[in-house]
Amino acid sequence: MKRGQARVVAVPWVRQLVIDTGRASRRRHSIHGLFEVDVTRARQALRAQRRDTGEALSFTAFVVACVARAVAADPAVQAYRDLRGRAVIFPEVDVGLPIEVELDGVPFAFTHVLRDAGRRTTRELHDEIRAVQADPALSPSVRNQAWARAYLLIPAVLRTGLLGALHRFPGRQRAIAGTVGVTAVGMFAGGGGWGVAFQVHTLSVVIGGITIRPALCDGQLVEREWLQLTVSLDHDVVDGAPAARFVNRLRSLLTTADGLDEPRTPDPQLPDPLGSARN
């Protein structure tokens, strides 16, 4: 190839699925919230676990577990409207998580659904994610790629219409993509930052980066680790008050390192959540 000459390569067939999803997501009336949460205690617990056992437990699995528990406390935030306009609320939380694997020799992030994640431990979710990364054929999403290829034979305008209407068939939505979406963009780049993903679920959470900066705790400046999160909701289904309650529950679960094996002793560097009420 001559210097300066452009390189032309074939686009993987799975890329068309991403394009179709982007087109279909425009039909949702999404609201987005960008916020930060102190995950110092959780990060300390994960580092201690790695030091004691030699195994690194997935931070993404921990966040997924917290998201699922926060949703399970009020499943209405993962509701879907069917064709008759009724709200369908599933009791179980099925989290659709993009996992990067190699398909046909090309790296690609496909959506694997972690079933009933609200009742599972971080360890169980971690083990399933690692198993699928090691052997993508374990995921039904990969095993159904023959159906995905057949779907791509349909004209583009019909494909976009089908994807755009998927959420009006809640049972199919749950089977194919889960009830909640979680995307971990922070694992691909260091430093802080937020991300906004395609809105293909009623509730989607994007795990961004982590920054280290000082915070004032009990009158002293101490270094804390802050996770950036983006919460997106379909405003046709969920209003602001339930969304705020979900964010508050999620923040509490993440801050307290809920579900991790760690001593349940107060963190002296964390501000007392009841301090303002006691004064």
Q: What is the mean pLDDT of residues 235-258?
A: 93
C-alpha distances out from residue 82 to 28, 57, 168, Å: 14, 38, 4
For the chain, give every domain's residue range.
13-256
Structure tokens at 58: 């997935």
Structure tokens at 278: 């006691």
Q: What is the mean pLDDT of residues 74-92?
A: 93
Q: What is the mean pLDDT of residues 134-148?
A: 78
Residue 267: its pLDDT value, please?
A: 44
Q: Which of 135-139, 260-264, 272-276 has the lowest mean pLDDT?
A: 272-276
Query: Measured between alpha carbons, how far is 222 from 207 in angstroms, rounded to an integer?
Result: 24
Indicate if the pLDDT at residue 277 is higher than 60: no
C-alpha distances out from residue 259 to 45, 46, 52, 61, 64, Å: 10, 11, 17, 11, 11
Residue 187: its pLDDT value, please?
A: 52
Residue 271: its pLDDT value, please?
A: 36
Reported as a single tens digit per residue, the pLDDT across 180-210 is 999 987 655 566 788 888 888 999 999 998 9
DSSP letters, 154-221, are S-HHHHHHHHHTGGGSHHHHHHHH-SEEEEEGGGGS-S---------SSEEEEEEEEEEEEEEETTEE
Which one of 1.10.3720.10, 3.90.226.10, 3.30.559.10, 3.40.50.2300 gives the CATH number of domain 13-256? 3.30.559.10
The number of C-alpha atoms within 13 Å of 268 and in the hemisphere containing its C-beta is: 1
Q: CB of 260 within 8 A of CB of 122? A: yes
Residue 26: its pLDDT value, please?
A: 73
Tokens 């993509």 locate to 177
Does pTM top 0.85 for this prediction?
Answer: no
Residue 186: its pLDDT value, please?
A: 60
User: Among residues of the chain, what percentage have pLDDT more than 70?
Assistant: 88
Q: Which band of pLDDT confidence, cut at 50, 70 and 90, is reported for residue 262?
A: very low
DSSP state at residue 78: G
Highest mean predicted confidence (pLDDT) among 15-19, 236-240, 268-272: 236-240
Could you give the residue ranges of the DSSP H alpha helices within the chain?
15-25, 40-53, 59-72, 122-134, 140-143, 145-151, 156-164, 170-177, 240-255, 275-278
Highest mean predicted confidence (pLDDT) among 17-31, 63-77, 262-276: 63-77
Q: Which band of pLDDT confidence, cut at 50, 70 and 90, is reported for residue 164?
A: confident
Q: What is the mean pLDDT of residues 247-272?
A: 70
